[in-house]
Structure 1
Amino acid sequence: MIICIGAGPGDVAYLTQRGAELIRNADVVAGFDAVVNVVQSLIPGTAQVVTMNYRDQTERLAEVAAAHHADKNCVVVFMGDIHFSGFQYLERVERACGHPVETLPGISSAQILASRAKVCFDETTFITLHRRGDLEPFKRHLVHVLQDWRNAIVIPCPWDEARSFMPRHIAAYLLEQGIPPEHPTEVWENLTRSEAEWHGTLSDCASQEFSDMSIMLIRTLSPMSSQIEPPGAAS
């Protein structure tokens, strides 16, 4: 068996019970160093632990695939929810194994942010820029989201300086595209730890520096009015 698990947004308390059970019964637990550290307390002493980084992930996943084909129970842990910003990593796992693998969703930082900031996903669009490849289609989509009077939750792209598209870069880009500078904007760091939060406008954000552990909320200038009945009206 091999299964990919969303391990939550950086705190083992947000891991699902099913995910915890699979880790406790695994022969092999694999993932990026920081993610494996989150679930370290659940990994059995008998398990093989395979950690990796961006540079050696292909080689390390080949080790996991070999263990899987040798009938070991293998778990690959992802930060957050696999299908929010880990889909390219999932593709690498499946490429290493040579077939589709089972996935178990987790709690994402976007869900935690929506709870903290009290925004509704029905009225909000989620966009992740934390990916390899061409970001332009996703950047254009973000512009259209705000033009359509929706909130936007955005995971920035950290990585190296040449490729980084962090909150200040996102804000500057949107301003260049004609998005109004007064959009209420929030950046939250380490959501499940220190819960640092910054509030300002899109214009203010263009001059702010934030850590790689950041997620951004850009609120619409025209929030949707309540669609429930007025107080006292018949239900």
Structure 2
Amino acid sequence: MVHFVGAGPGAVDLITIRGQKLIAEADVIIYAGSLVNPKLLDYAKEGAQIYDSAKLTLEEVIAIMKEAEEQGFDVVRLHTGDPSIYGAIREQMDELDKLGIAYDVTPGVSSFCGAAAALEIEYTLPGITQSVIISRMEGRTKVPEKESVENLASIGATMVFFLSAGDIKGLKEKLLNAGRDPKTLCAVVYKATWDDEKKFICTLDDLPDMASEHGINKTALIIVGDALSQAGYEKSRLYAADFDTEFRKAKENP
């Protein structure tokens, strides 16, 4: 069987208990070497076969899985963060379906959650923003026109950009073209939760210069939006003393 496992954002102890257990039991581990913390491989049992998928094609990855299946081995396919976000797992699942190989998915902590923790922010602040848009700049992988940066940015929600640190200047231009204020707060979090994590907050106008100054051009998330100010929000009604819930009656004189 093949287990797709989310490795978490970087810190070794942010993998799930289930994910750690699957790594420890796996006969074969295929991990995204360019992104996954290699220290997670310390959980592997002695004699486990370990492959770095950064050096492999899709066909080569599937061939390893097929051979493992024929030998009765369990495989862990270790993806960074949560495999459902830019994990390219659907194409692997489709190939496994053709081969009749069973698989399952273990979710992981996404790096956009790790970035929020690093910045000590809440993405969804009542009265400020209640939506988070996860997207990316267009590169060799195309982005549907309806999901262009300009179209998504016009909504005004908090935005988190993956895979976009290589063209921060272009991202700035697209956000400005969408009507975002040059003084909009932005954050760059490099390798969230890793030992060498870096984090910076600036305005949209200063974003490219700030990233250039600190040598950030990959392995970073870019957060854009009013949620970064963490000010001017409304308190949650759920915990208000005068608010009835299924579990608590409102207080008459709070």
TM-score bin, normalised by smaller chain:
0.7 to 0.9
| Partner residue in 2 for 1:226 | 234
Question: What secondary structure does 2:218 align onto?
Answer: coil
| Partner residue in 1 for 2:200 | 198
Q: AA paired with 1:219?
A: G
Query: Which blocks of at least 5 consecutive residues in structure 2 are unaligned?
Result: 244-249
What is the aligned-residue identity percentage? 19
| Partner residue in 2 for 1:51 | 52
| Partner residue in 2 for 1:161 | none
Question: What secondary structure does 2:206 align onto?
Answer: helix
Following the alignment from structure 1 to structure 2, what is the Cα–Cα distance between the partners of residues 39 and 175?
Answer: 40
Alpha-carbon spacing, 1:204–1:136, altered in 2? closer, same or farther (3 Å): farther
Question: What secondary structure does 2:62 align onto?
Answer: helix
Alpha-carbon spacing, 1:38–1:57, altered in 2? closer, same or farther (3 Å): farther
| Partner residue in 2 for 1:21 | 21
1:215 aligns with 2:221: yes
Question: What secondary structure does 2:187 align onto?
Answer: strand
Following the alignment from structure 2 to structure 1, what is the Cα–Cα distance between the partners of residues 29 and 13?
Answer: 18
Following the alignment from structure 2 to structure 1, what is the Cα–Cα distance between the partners of residues 85 and 95?
Answer: 21
1:219 shift after superposition:
1.2
TM-score, normalised by the number of residues in structure 2: 0.76
Following the alignment from structure 1 to structure 2, what is the Cα–Cα distance between the partners of residues 138 and 113?
Answer: 26
Q: 5 Å matches for 1:1-235?
A: 1-34=1-34, 35=36, 37-53=38-54, 56-86=57-87, 88=88, 90-97=89-96, 98=98, 101-117=103-119, 118-121=121-124, 123-129=130-136, 133-137=141-145, 140=148, 142-157=149-164, 164=166, 166-192=167-193, 193-207=195-209, 208-209=211-212, 210-220=216-226, 225-228=233-236, 235=250
1:137 shift after superposition:
3.4
TM-score, normalised by the number of residues in structure 1: 0.82
Following the alignment from structure 1 to structure 2, what is the Cα–Cα distance between the partners of residues 153 and 96?
Answer: 30
Q: AA paired with 1:10?
A: G
Following the alignment from structure 2 to structure 1, what is the Cα–Cα distance between the partners of residues 134 and 236?
Answer: 28
Which structure would you say has the larger Rg? 2
Following the alignment from structure 2 to structure 1, what is the Cα–Cα distance between the partners of residues 190 and 12?
Answer: 17
Q: AA paired with 1:149?
A: G
Q: AA paired with 1:25?
A: E
Query: Which blocks of at least 5 consecutive residues in structure 1 are unaligned?
Result: 159-163
Question: What secondary structure does 2:205 align onto?
Answer: helix
Following the alignment from structure 1 to structure 2, what is the Cα–Cα distance between the partners of residues 14 and 134?
Answer: 31
Q: Deviations over 1:158-178 (max 9, x none)?
A: 6xxxxx5x3332112212333
Alpha-carbon spacing, 1:231–1:48, altered in 2? closer, same or farther (3 Å): closer
Following the alignment from structure 2 to structure 1, what is the Cα–Cα distance between the partners of residues 8 and 175?
Answer: 29
Following the alignment from structure 2 to structure 1, what is the Cα–Cα distance between the partners of residues 19 and 146?
Answer: 30
Q: Which moved more, 1:115-124 or 1:177-186?
A: 115-124
1:84 shift after superposition:
1.8
- Residues matched between the structures, number: 226
1:46 shift after superposition:
1.7
